Chains A and B, each alone.
Chain A
């Protein structure tokens, strides 16, 4: 009876447009007070315990570094570099679009910011160069999603915090799938646009534009190189990223002053203000579930009904695709990662690999109606109808699904650097 009442209240809360933080706070309170013979004060204690972790420091720092680097003309510099470098290749401009998105995502740390920054320059350029509108829309929306798998990725950090998995390992594990997805998109772009006229190879021009974009390109190398070589922890590399971003934007590119920096800090703080309270509430629910041995019970149920790792992985894929259509990636990770992780362990799936496949899986949610964030953002940026964009991304969704299957059933692709 109480369970039905609980579900009914959640549905009412959704109808009454409650924010996720309120819903999670209600769930946490209900768990402790109704199901756990506890007190509401336990939730507040969990909130404090959840926030009081050094590992969380990397989140604001990576977001800040990304926001700083996204302010200036880095997108323009990267795009120019990629355009010149890919000019002699068939479909060069399309490949440049995808590579620009991948590199900008690694720097900016944001899928939608990538879509806006690269898309606003490349969409008119692609149309002018004779690429089809459908291809231009689809490639920009799809390549924009690379932001969440290319390290440093906030969803990967959230997954690491929720499942106690090494964030440095998750970053390393994200590299293989990110390169694989970028390659799949690029090969498709090349094949699809074989007939489009190509440009000339000009080494001097490549060197000129590389000089302008080299500092931006060096950022992911610095972050990942630092982590991979063992020189930095995830938090340390985040601090170095902020320091580097400030030096580049304020002193080298001179595209930012300290007033702009203040605005970026406020922007980042506002993001934190919506993210960290969610994380706190989710961790409180997680603590309750662990205390009540709920994950253990789930493991027993799944083990009794799912008899192979493959069936478990396929079930997870289908479930996460459905979830990704309706729930944003951050909330999905905060709620589902602690529940799914014990099941993955029980099925002998490596937790780092599971994190990567979960993120790639939820990445599809950026492109699926009705709530695909990149579709909605693209509507505004490219002034196109929602369903035209949704149709344009279909081939890319299929490619991403193929990529997802590869990531899921080829763990070495993620784990080869560990």
Chain B
């Protein structure tokens, strides 16, 4: 169990670093674009596209951050309907189903990215291949599969859902 926790902590550190980098790129390039456009009348070519790709990377990498911190939204109104004594089993099933969901979407998204690669789809504005950016989708789901499988095996290492109610409100405003 300890090694699973250590492994997930390392994954979290990696996701954290990528998220900070991608978020910073997104923010800085938009700010630079807006400032330059307002001053010079012309913005940075392709700035918005780069920002959108950086946002996608941030959002999907952060899918793992939200799992790590127990921040995925979950309706709780049905929580009291099953007996409390089933708690451990329910959490195992909950995490197993999340892992299964991630696995299915990981497999399907690998196929989609491979198709994009074969079709040599490119970003019209930036003239670069799209598939490296798209790869973040299967990556997020693969990590999700590993993370939630480990949570199913060792529920003790996970944080509870909506563990910090005050911070749930990313969705609220």
Q: Which of A16, A17, A148, A242 contacts B31 (CB 8 A)?
A: A242
In the assembled complex, B1 has its CB within 8 A of some CB on chain A: no
A238 to B63 CA separation, bound complex (whole angstroms)? 22
In the assembled complex, A64 has its CB within 8 A of some CB on chain B: yes
Known contacts A17-B161, A45-B112, A272-B59; 19 further A-B pairs (Cβ under 8 A): A14-B77, A44-B109, A60-B23, A61-B30, A105-B173, A112-B165, A235-B30, A235-B48, A238-B30, A243-B35, A266-B65, A268-B170, A273-B60, A275-B59, A328-B75, A328-B171, A330-B172, A373-B168, A380-B166
The interface of chain B, by Cβ under 8 A from chain A, is 16, 19-20, 23-24, 26-27, 30-31, 33-35, 48, 51-52, 55-56, 58-67, 69, 71-79, 81-82, 90-91, 93-94, 97-98, 101, 104-105, 108-109, 111-112, 115, 134, 137, 161, 165-173
In the assembled complex, A360 has its CB within 8 A of some CB on chain B: no
In the assembled complex, A25 has its CB within 8 A of some CB on chain B: yes
In the assembled complex, A398 has its CB within 8 A of some CB on chain B: no
In the assembled complex, A306 has its CB within 8 A of some CB on chain B: no
Q: Which of B55, B105, B166 contacts A56 (CB 8 A)?
A: B55
B59 to chain A, nearest CB (A): 4
B93:A16 contact, CB within 8 angstroms = yes
Chain A, interface residues (CB within 8 Å), range? 35 or more
The interface of chain A, by Cβ under 8 A from chain B, is 13-22, 25-26, 29, 40-41, 43-45, 47-48, 51-54, 56-57, 60-61, 63-64, 66, 105, 109-113, 116, 147-148, 153-155, 158, 232, 235-236, 238-240, 242-243, 262, 265-278, 326-331, 366, 370-371, 373, 376-377, 380
Residue of A nearest to B100 (CB): A22
| Consensus secondary structure, chain B interface | helix
A112 to B122 CA separation, bound complex (whole angstroms)? 42
Chain B residues within 8 Å of A235, by CB: 30, 48
Q: Which of B61, B73, B105, B168 contacts A44 (CB 8 A)?
A: B105
Chain B residues within 8 Å of A63, by CB: 170
Chain B residues within 8 Å of A29, by CB: 104
A119 to chain B, nearest CB (A): 11
A77 to B51 CA separation, bound complex (whole angstroms)? 34
B113 to chain A, nearest CB (A): 9
Q: Which of A19, A116, A232, A328 contacts B168 (CB 8 A)?
A: A328
B171:A154 contact, CB within 8 angstroms = yes
A225 to B173 CA separation, bound complex (whole angstroms)? 20
Q: Which of B62, B63, B172 contacts A154 (CB 8 A)?
A: B172
A60 to B31 CA separation, bound complex (whole angstroms)? 13
A235 to B27 CA separation, bound complex (whole angstroms)? 11
Query: Beyond A17-B94, A328-B171, is A60–B137 a contact (Cβ under 8 Å)?
Result: no
B73:A41 contact, CB within 8 angstroms = no
A14:B78 contact, CB within 8 angstroms = yes
B61:A273 contact, CB within 8 angstroms = yes
A26 to B162 CA separation, bound complex (whole angstroms)? 21
Q: Which of B71, B108, B172 contacts A328 (CB 8 A)?
A: B172
B77:A41 contact, CB within 8 angstroms = no
Residue of B nearest to A281 (CB): B105
Query: Beyond A16-B94, A277-B60, is A326–B172 a contact (Cβ under 8 Å)?
Result: no
A111:B173 contact, CB within 8 angstroms = yes
A20:B52 contact, CB within 8 angstroms = no
